[in-house]
Structure 1
Amino acid sequence: MSTFLGVLALVLWGLLALLGTLTLAIPAFQLLSMCFLISAFIMILKRLIQNKPLFTLPSLTAEQWLIGIVGLFGFHFCYFMALKFAPAIEVSLIVYSWPLLLTLFVATKTSRLSALVGGFLGFFGIAFIILKDNQINIEDEFIWGYLLSIICACIWSGYSWFLTKSNNEVEDVGWLSLGVALLALVSHLQFETGQWDLTWTQWLGVVLLGLGPVGGAFYLWDIGLKYGNQTLLASLSFSTPVLSSFILSAAGLNPWSFNIVIALSLIAIGAIIANKNLLGFLQRKQIRF
C-alpha cells in the first residue's frame, strides 16, 4: 500500500501541467504560497477527522526542519529562478536528472550498477519527451539557469533520500508546508506583482493543485519513501513527464507523439533493470502495493 501511495504521488505530479493551465495568469510564488497553505490545511483536516488537537507542536528536529524547508521551498525557488535565466527545455532536462540521482542514493552496493544502467535508460526516456524535435543549445549566457537547475536536481533527490532515513510523522509535512507558504509569500512580495482578482476557474485550479500535485502529493511521497519500495519509486519517477505529456495529449492540449511510446518503453526497461528482482518480488507479493 505504501508503494502504491508513492506511485499515486507521481500520478498527481503528472497532472501538474494540465491543472497548471488553469492558473497560468497567477504569479509563480503567489501560486506556490496559496497551494502550500492548502497543503497545511490537509494536516488540520486530518486532525479534525481523527479528533486530535489541531495545533499540537510538530515532532520535527532542527535538521528535519532545515532539510524539509530546503527540499520543498528550495527546489521550487531554484526552479522558478532557473526559468528566468535559461530556456525551459534545458532547465526541465537538467532538473529531471533527480530520479537518476535518487536511484543511485537508495541502491545498495550490490545493485548500484544495475541502478545506474536502469537510471540512464529512464533519463533517456525523459529526454525523448522533453526534447521532442528540439535541440539543446548550450549557451554561456544561460549558465546561471543551468547551475540553478543542477541545484534543483540535487535538492529534490537529496530531500527524497532524506525521507527514506527520517522517522518523523508524515503529517509534519503540514507544518513544513506552512513554512513554505510563508517563504513563498515573502518571495512573491519581493519578486512579483500580485494577481488576486481571480476567476472561479483560477480558484478551482489553485484548490486542485493544493490538494494534489503542489501539496497533497508530498504527503503521499513521504509515505512511499518511508515505508514503500524506494528503488522502484525512484525508477518510476522518470515516468512523471511522460505521464504529463500523455495527459495533455488526451486532453487535446498537446499533439500525440510516438516519443511517448518510446519514452515509456525505455523507462519500463530501466525500472526492471534497476529493480532486477522486481518480477520475483511481485510474484512473492513482497512489494506493498
Structure 2
Amino acid sequence: MTATFATPTRQSADIHLRWIGRLVGMKLTGTSGGPQTKTLGLVSGAVVLWASWPALATAVGPAPPFLTLGASALIGFLFSLLLAARKGAAHTFLSLPFKTMVFVALGLMGNNAFYIAAIGRIGPAEANVVHYLWPVFLVLLASMLQQRLPSLLQALGVAFGFMGVAVALYPQMAGSLDGIGVLLGVCGALTFAVYSVGRSLARIETNVVGPSLGLAGLAALSAHFAIEPAYWPSATEWLAIVLMGIGPFTVANMLWDKATRSGSAAAISSFAFLTPLVAMGLLAAFGLGNVTSNTIVGALFAIAGALLSSTSRRSATPGQREGKD
C-alpha cells in the first residue's frame, strides 16, 4: 500500500498518533448523497484499490519483484503526469524537490519490493498479515521520536500485532515456515512505517507520490537489470502490472488525497484499517491465495493491535485540534 499522509502541524512528530489516536468513536455522518457520503465513497475506493495490491502482485506470478515494481511505478508516473498535464499543472508536478523524490521513491520501492518478495515465499494472505505490522511499528517509531516509553495499551497493541502474525503463520510452523519470507514481510512493514513518519515530518502539501514514481521506477528497473534474471511478462502479467501502476499506485492516492481534503482526516483514515480484510476477500474471490481461518483471525489480531496501540494517544491529547491534509 502507498498511502499519502497528512502534513504536519506545529507538533509534527505527533501527527500520526493524533490521526490514528482519535479514530475510535469517530464516524462519518450525513444524509444520503451529501458531502459525507461522497467522502465515504472516495475512501472506500482508495481502500479497495490498495487492497487489490496482493491480488495483482500474485497475478503477476513469476515475474521478478524489481521488474514488476519498476514497470508498474513508471506506468503510474506516466498516468499521473498525463492527469497533471490535462489540468495544466505539469510544471508543478515536475517541480518536487529532488531530496523529497529520493526519500519517497526509496520508501515506495523498498516497501513494495519487500512485500512482493514476501508474497512469493510465504503466500499472499500471510504476507498481507505480516505487512500489516506497519501501524504497530509506526506507533513505536513515534514513541521513540518523542523519547517516551509506549503506554500499557500501546504495548498491548504491539503484542496483539505480533500475535496476529503468529496465528496467520501457525500452519507453516510445523516445518515449512520460510523465515526469510517472514523477514522480508517485516522489512516491508518497517520500511512503510519509516516512510510514513518521514512524510509526516516533511512540510510539503503537494502530491509527492506521482512525481516520485518515475524515480522509483527507474531505480527498481536498474536493480532488476543488475541482480535479477531477464524476464518478459506475459500478456496477463502485463495487464496486472498496468493495473497495479494505475490503481494502487495512482488512483488510490488521488482518491485518498481528495477525501482527506474534503472530510475529517482522523475519521476517514479509520477505513484504512479495513484494507487487510478487503485484500483477503479479493484474494479469495479470485482464487489467488490460500485464505484460511488462521489468516483471517491473524488479520483481525493485527487490526486490533493497530487500534489498541493507537487508542491511548486519544486520551493523552483530548484538546488538540485536528490536522488536515
TM-score computed with the length of structure 2 as normaliser: 0.64
Indicate which of 156, 167, 175 corresponds to 2:211. Answer: 175
SS at 1:133's partner residue?
A: helix
Q: Is the 8 A contact 1:170 1:222 kept in 2?
A: no
Aligned to 2:197: 161
Aligned to 1:50: 87
- The size of the alignment, in residue pairs, is 275
Is 1:73 aligned to 2:147, yes or no?
Answer: no
Q: Is the 8 A contact 1:40 1:177 kept in 2?
A: yes
Aligned to 2:232: 195
Aligned to 1:282: none
Taking the aligned partners of 1:263 and 1:94, their CA distance within structure 2 comes to 9
Aligned to 2:29: none
Is 1:251 aligned to 2:290, yes or no?
Answer: no
Taking the aligned partners of 2:182 and 2:283, their CA distance within structure 1 comes to 26
Residue 159 (structure 1) shift: 0.4
Q: Which amino acid aligns with 2:216?
A: V
Residue 35 (structure 1) shift: 0.7
Matches within 5 A, 1:1-289: 9-54=46-91, 57-60=94-97, 62=99, 64-78=100-114, 87-88=121-122, 92=127, 95-106=131-142, 112-128=151-167, 130-131=168-169, 133-135=171-173, 150-190=186-226, 191-196=228-233, 198-199=234-235, 201-217=236-252, 228-229=265-266, 240-254=275-289, 257-259=292-294, 262-263=297-298, 265-267=300-302, 269-273=304-308, 274-276=310-312
Q: Is the 8 A contact 2:60 2:241 kept in 1?
A: yes
Overall identity of the aligned pairs, in % = 25
Q: Which runs of 5+ in 2 are unaligned?
A: 1-5, 7-18, 20-39, 316-321
Q: Is the 8 A contact 2:93 2:207 kept in 1?
A: no
Instruction: Please tell me the root mean square deviation across aligned C-alpha atoms, in Å.
Output: 4.5
Taking the aligned partners of 2:213 and 2:132, their CA distance within structure 1 comes to 23
Taking the aligned partners of 2:57 and 2:107, their CA distance within structure 1 comes to 21
Taking the aligned partners of 1:120 and 1:162, their CA distance within structure 2 comes to 25
Aligned to 2:25: none
Taking the aligned partners of 1:39 and 1:22, their CA distance within structure 2 comes to 18
Q: Which amino acid aligns with 2:122?
A: A
Taking the aligned partners of 2:257 and 2:193, their CA distance within structure 1 comes to 13
Q: Which runs of 5+ in 1 are unaligned?
A: 280-285
Q: 1:161-217 deviations in whole A, cap 9, x for unaligned?
A: 111222224423222110011111112212221205x32x33332221111234544
